[in-house]
Amino acid sequence: EADIYQTPRYLVIGTGKKITLECSQTMGHDKMYWYQQDPGMELHLIHYSYGVNSTEKGDLSSESTVSRIRTEHFPLTLESARPSHTSQYLCASTQSGQRDEQYFGPGTRLTVT
């Protein structure tokens, strides 16, 4: 069983608030990812990291930012939440050499009112 955690699982917040979605993994994986997925729709990669101090934007433009100060921790921050940010955010990790076997967290469902 994969050990990757996301908090909070659900978040309802007002427009303009700053929020941080937490993601942690205990497997020592070097690669970590953030995906965004609306209900019934495709997953879109918004950020990824190949290791400590490495962060890159994914294919879907996102107003969020990420950091990777520790191997196990990959938080995502929205400086000013908007209703358009309402979505499910999924964090994943994998180890180089595992050939695309990503482990996903349970997700955070964000609603911005």
Partner 1 sequence: LAKTTQPISMDSYEGQEVNITCSHNNIATNDYITWYQQFPSQGPRFIIQGYKTKVTNEVASLFIPADRKSSTLSLPRVSLSDTAVYYCLVGDGNDYKLSFGAGTTVTVRA
**Start-to-end C-alpha separation, the chain:** 35
Using the rule CB under 8 A, is 75 a contact of partner 1?
Answer: no
Q: Which is nearer to partner 1, 27 or 43 (CB)?
A: 43
Interface with partner 1 includes 53 (CB under 8 A)?
no
Which residue's structure tokens are 């942690």?
24
Tell the residue number behind the tokens 């967290």, with chain if given: 105
Asked if 101 interacts with partner 1 (CB under 8 A), we say: yes
Q: Which is nearer to partner 1, 27 or 45 (CB)?
A: 45
**β-bridge pairing 10-13 and 103-104:** unpaired
- Does residue 100 belong to the site contacting partner 1 (CB under 8 A)? yes
Residue type, 93: S
**Nearest CB to partner 1, comparing residues 64 and 94:** 94
In 3-state terms, what secondary structure has residue 84? helix
Amino acid letter, residue 104: F
Q: Which residues sit opposite 103 in a β-bridge? A: 93
Q: Distance between CA 52 and CA 62 in Å, rounded? A: 21
Site for partner 1 in 11-40 (CB under 8 A): 35
Least separation in angstroms between CB 35 and partner 1 = 8
48 binds partner 1 (CB under 8 A): yes
Contact residues: partner 1, CB under 8 A: 35, 41-43, 45, 48, 50, 56, 58-59, 88, 90-92, 96-107, 109
